[in-house]
Amino acid sequence: MDKTLNGIKVAVGVTGCIAAYKAVEVVSRLKKKGADVRVVMTKSAREFVGPLTFGTISKNKVICDMFELPDYSEVEHISMASWADVFLVCPATANIIGKVASGIADDFLSTTIMAAKVPVIFAAAMNNNMYDNPIVRENIAKLKKYGYCFIDPDEGSLACGTVGKGRLADYDKITDVVEYHAYKNKDLLGKKVLVTAGPTAEKIDPVRFISNHSSGKMGYAAAKAAKLRGAQVTLISGPVNIKPFTDIDVIYVNSAQEMYDAVTASSDDADIIIKAAAVADYKPLNIAEHKIKKTGDMSIALTRNPDILNELGKKKQNQILVGFCMETKDLIANAEKKLKSKNLDFIVANDLSREGAGFKTDTNIVTIIDKKGQKTSIDMMSKEDIAHIILDKCVQM
Ligand code: PMT
């Protein structure tokens, strides 16, 4: 698992709901991502899960009681509120939401939330009728108005036997939202970023296609980095096996033509376009209607696909256009040629022949070349760190 929450302090408030057992997994995932986690449990939460479980997973003392023997050097609920970088209430019941919305601070958790100056996230979970109750709706709306963040529950079958909206949201969504709020640099707030990722697949017949080895990791990392920095992100993705970061608009495509159509439909609005996708330059001239049968040797006639980046370069006005270049030889010369011919602001060149660079790896080794001719070589680092360097350059520009 990635260590994207390294050094981040997360206070987790657990309230009384059957989903309290899921909070154990949430704490475990936050820990695996590198966060320092301290758990506060309400009295009702302890009816569902024991503090020992949270203490063992978080490796920190679990706070249960407002009046348990304090450390007199600090007022514990105030110090907890100022210790945390992010406060997650998970699961958040109608009761805790109602208490905070009404300004009630009568136990350790509600007093700490009240004293918190950091982002407070409520991951709501309750019976669907409770969630629909106008009082709960009003309390949520009030808290949102004051800047509290909510993770809506999912739809599905609930422990009480009903089906509806009330299940705790999925684990990835919860940890993504924590990561979003923990990431302080929001220099892309108000900006629209369009990213392409993954390979394209060009049909030969109903069972076969031409494609390449792109996993989508580089493009998905760029989309995530832009989201963390506050941008509104659209990700146009070829067929890959990665879950996108939360709250990114994803448009899935297969062929280069579909990617071209999706990109041209959303590109006019974008402030920054990052083309990390590995687009097939050629596609079969004809797609066979039925599975092609074995005969002797055969050849497939190919025809050119549209060059999406080239088209974007032609109509670019006030956008920052970033291309990638993937080569197995003459990397820099080819990258410089593409930078000019496609009218890019800069190009990110990766050499597929180097270990730790290119397809499928979690890392990359790149040289960034900008339109003024400035070259920056970047040693091997995670695709996410490289994505942030690319965005830093966009922000500078
Ligand atoms: O997905 P991963 O496994 O993480 O791998 C990452 C990567 C190696 C795929 C990525 O870092 C990368 O290099 N992407 C670009 C691959 C590519 O198509 O390179 P190219 O040199 O063939 O194309 C140059 C640029 O033109 C690229 O930005 C490409 O998106 C774009 N292009 C190419 C052909 C085409 N028909 N339309 C395009 O828009």
List, for residues 185-212, the tens digit of each pLDDT value. 999 999 999 999 999 999 999 999 999 9
278 Cα to the center of ligand 1, angstroms: 4
Q: If you count them, how many residues does the chain have? A: 397
Q: Which of 59-73, 300-314, 343-357 has the lowest mean pLDDT?
A: 59-73
With beta carbons less than 8 A apart as the criterion, state whether 32 and 180 touch: no
List, for residues 165-186, the tens digit of each pLDDT value. 999 999 999 999 999 999 999 9
3.50.50.60, 3.40.50.10300, 3.40.50.720, 3.30.930.10: CATH of 192-396? 3.40.50.10300
With beta carbons less than 8 A apart as the criterion, state whether 9 and 35 touch: yes
Q: Quickly list DSSP for 56-107.
A: HHHTSPPB--TTSS--TTS-HHHHHHHH-SEEEEEEE-HHHHHHHHTT---S
Residue 371 has pLDDT above 60, yes or no: yes
186 Cα to the center of ligand 1, angstroms: 27
Residue 49 has pLDDT above 70, yes or no: yes
Residue 74 has pLDDT above 80, yes or no: no
Residue 362 has pLDDT above 70, yes or no: yes
Average pLDDT on 87-91 reads 98
Q: Alpha-carbon torsion 247, 251, 256, 260, what sign?
A: negative
Pairing of strands 232-237, 192-197: parallel
pLDDT band, very low/low/confident/very high, at 373 (cuts 50, 70, 90): very high
pLDDT mean across residues, the chain: 95
Residue 366 CA, closest ligand 1 atom number: 11
Topology given in CATH for the domain delimited by 9-182? Rossmann fold (3.40.50)
pLDDT at 159: 85
Distance CA 352, CA 68 (A): 60
Catalytic hit among 149, 160, 325, 394: 160
Q: Which of 62-71, 140-149, 283-292, 296-305 has the lowest mean pLDDT?
A: 62-71
- Is 90 part of the annotated catalytic residue set? no
Average pLDDT on 232-236 reads 98
Q: In whole angstroms, how far apart are CA 319 and each of 9, 118, 237, 265, 368?
A: 37, 34, 21, 15, 18
- Give, in degrees to the nearest 5, the angle at Cα 383 between 12 and 372: 125
pLDDT at 158: 86
For 272, how many CA atoms within 13 A lie in the half-sphere containing its CB? 29
pLDDT band, very low/low/confident/very high, at 77 (cuts 50, 70, 90): low
Name the percent of the chain lying above pLDDT 90. Answer: 89
Residue 76 has pLDDT above 70, yes or no: no
Quick check: do 9-182 and 192-396 share a fold?
yes
Distance CA 40, CA 61 (A): 9
Give the domain ranges of the chain. Answer: 9-182, 192-396
Distance CA 238, CA 187 (A): 28
**Which residue, judged by its Cα, is nearest atom 14 of ligand 1?**
276
CA dihedral 121, 123, 128, 132 (to 10 degrees): 10
Distance CA 91, CA 17 (A): 7
pLDDT at 160: 81
Count Cβ atoms below 10 Å from residue 171 Cβ, excluding itself: 14
